[in-house]
Structure 1
Amino acid sequence: MGAQYRIYYFSKMLPRDLKPEQFNSYPPEARKLIISNLKTLQQLPLSFLPGLLHEIIDYDYKFPIERQEISKEIAKLGSLSLVQMNEWFRSFQEVSLSTQLEHSNWINQPSQFVEQLSAYLWSTRQVDAFRKAAKEYGERIRAAVSLEQLPTPRLGIAIIGQGGNGYDGPLFRMLREHGTYFSHINPENGVQQLLHAVELRAQSYPTPYGHWYIEGGQAVEHNTMLTCVSYRALAPVRAALLRNLQAEIQRPGMGPEELRTNLATLQPADIGLDKSGDAVLNHFQLKILTEGSGTQIFSTTFVQWTVREVLRRAQPLTLLARFGPRQRQRPMNELLSNAGNDSEVDLIGSLIDAEMGAYYNWLNQQRLQGLVQSSFIAWLESGSQAVAIGPSFARGTSSNSRINLEELISWATR
């Protein structure tokens, strides 16, 4: 029987029947938010509400801007009249649901409901109608919820080529058309200069999770005002997760759907993340390792996925990502059994991965508020090549000027 039907039966529950005590298993801030807005949630259709609960259930472990967005969204829904509520959700109301979905434990397991709903919509050919409804809703919310003005334009930095001795081939070809290519950068103390610039921004515009340093190898010394995620520092955590995965895979009857469900139930402490540490950051790192494909074993993939999620979720003012050398491609069972052993690295392959990763970093930054004013710099570590994109740099141009990275940062942020 298909995965979409593997649902345990509970008493049929519709949003209008919700009661405060049904959310006792939710974390405290999430429960408080729901109970104070229960009347609003009771008016939402079942085809929509579990998707919202999927976001709310992790409210306690979300970044500040995510909390603001959820709170503003619910407040907006609470301000709608009955007529407006019907207009906003008419298309969702028209989506038919199976008896299995109506009797599932969607209150406590909203993410599983969302997965099962997706499969059901495909099987009943309702997916296009649902997507249309979701798109219209998203447009209404974005138009209704105002964004706070940024205190300073965003700055993204990507450092590639760590561990190499420079590279003479052409780099940043996909980025050059959007900015200025520099061929005579002075690489001396380049990492320190870029990191210092990020630290200065963190001091000038202090905000929780507003300034990030993502490291694909061993993190260098940095100011604690930066939120840091390091591939090397997470080596014991990655190894514990892979042991967990191997044990689960060997269990009889374990398939992809069951494995994904088990991963979704893991808590940071289950894989060795410090209980006394930053709970929000610990949950974020857990999701990076359990939801990203290859983040457990390839440092370049780890950096690229982490940057994507930081930009999407935390929406920082500043982000420095330093790609590290990844291990060579080997058979999957060998990669899994030797997790954390990066002694045999592929420097050229890592450089190719990182160059494309830098491009994706810029693309993801462009999806955020203030994209016209934002700046982005990509640099070949220990090399003379860099590209800078932003209001201060002409598109599709090249410069042979001798310049150091501190000057380039000053130019980008003036």
Structure 2
Amino acid sequence: MPRFSALADWLAWQEQSHPRPIDLGLERVAGVFARLAAQPEKVPTITVGGTNGKGSCVAFLEAIYRAQGYKVGAYTSPHILRYNERIRIDGQPVADEAICAAFERIDAARVDTSLSYFEFGTLAALDIFSRAGVDIRILEVGLGGRLDAVNIIDADVAVVTTIAIDHVDWLGDTVEAIGREKAGIFRAGAPAVIGDQQAPASLISSARQKRADIFQIGRAFDYRKHADHWDWWTQRTELSGLPLPGLLGEHQFRNASAVIMAVCCLRERLPVAESAIREGLRNAQLSGRFQLIDGKPPVLLDVGHNPQAVQTLLSYLRTYFPDVKIHALFAMMKDKDIAGVLALMRDRVDHWYLAPLKNPRAANEEVLNAYFQQQDITNVNKGYADFSAAFDSARRQAGPGELILIFGSFFLVSEYLSQFA
């Protein structure tokens, strides 16, 4: 008999059954995977790590390989509306029944090994992709790299986007320490694509120690942006007149450049035509990243939740909304750099609205208010019962030509999309 029949029950149990919500390490999950998989996997795999830009790179890769006609399995986290978003085949979230069946097989294979919520999800994705016979797996690292469950798979190509301070309790409080953790997804003799020109020395040295083949933006490959197109090149290859990326923001040119490099590295096993690269770049989509919802007033959604991501958001606002009054609904997890985010946005936001979240990891109003006082930010609206009340307040106060910005957490964006989109 299966432990549960409904996906919601499986997930609720996983959240409570393991003693630690985040439990880095590969021994337990690798052992269960060995019992779960009938034979070693030989599916071409691209693993994507980094601090910011992972989801964008997965979206570009997914769109490019689908445009070429390959059957694509993509695993990402966290989800915004439904858990199923984490496990996709050909761009579509898999059904509850497929995930429940995978969980049942994992539950049987684990015997008495305890697995975390994320480890269950990672194993489920690998199991589902194997049974579906995908042509390529695109795996997004959840946290770090070296000890993340995704790292039980030896990637044929590993992509690291950017490195910044985040998850300090788990990865360290310097970019050098974090860089070493992110480099854990590199493998000897396999391409290590680095989409950060200012990558910490530790990332490069770790790649060299592992004898990975290093391809860094600004050295092995680069791009040039024009008004209505862009160019990408290496010493051997040049793609001119590329369409502007379907995902907005200057940073997406860096992400797209790293993705093209990864596709080139894998082209002997999975050939991709230039036309598919162009189509994939143009058609890539991603919820919650600079997602603009038309309306009066319009609403801009961004899941950025650390200073590096919010600096990118700020640049986007300066480019596309230079003189627009901004009403910001805001919340963050209490383990994030709230002070650093507020310091960046304090002079750009005209009115703040503290939107309460039910998540136990979220900073409550008292904690957030203390950070606002430290930054001497006084234009703060608070005391709302829930997200809906905060959003209604912002909508009432926002005038013609003004913008509502919702940022600071995946969970905050999820609240809006589930209630108002």
Q: Of Structure 1 and Structure 2, which has the larger fraction of its residues in helix?
A: 1
TM-score normalized with structure 1 length: 0.26
Bigger-Rg structure (1/2): 1
Higher relative contact order (CA closer than 8 Å, sequence separation 6+)? 1
Q: Of Structure 1 and Structure 2, which has the larger fraction of its residues in strand?
A: 2
